[in-house]
Amino acid sequence: MHFDQRTQQALREAGLSTDEIGAASERVVEATAETADAIEDFFDGLDTVHSDMDIAHSASDVVEHEVEYVDLYTHAADLRGYLKFDGWGVYVEGGRVLTDDTVELTLGPTVHDRVRFTTDPDSL
């Protein structure tokens, strides 16, 4: 089951049965996998995306990236993976779809930030 012991206890105290907690746990796992698929679909076939990533020595608030690939996997509610650009890459430690044109990823070392990626730079 996805939920830790404290969360399971709180859900039982809120009136959920063990079967209902199990069903909720399964839905979390499904939703995480659906999000990972949607993020991969967003990047699939794109050559270039724009982001609000804070880049050292950049005068612009919007950065352009050439995307090679994104490879995500899930475990329960965790969404992890790797986003590869032309010449560098970064670990993905979470993410969500904001709109059809924009996703937000939590990036690990060396970025350590939430970054929005979009096909429309004006939306940033």
List, for residues 73-123, the tens digit of each pLDDT value. 999 899 999 999 998 999 999 999 999 999 999 999 989 999 999 999 998
pLDDT-derived band of residue 57, with 50, 70 and 90 as boundaries? Answer: low
pLDDT confidence of residue 56: 66
pLDDT-derived band of residue 61, with 50, 70 and 90 as boundaries? Answer: confident
Could you give all domains of the chain from N- to C-terminal order, each with its CATH number?
A: 5-123 (2.70.180)
- CB atoms near residue 84 (< 10 Å): 15
CA distances 6 to 9, 77, 101, 115, Å, are 5, 16, 37, 31
pLDDT confidence of residue 1: 73
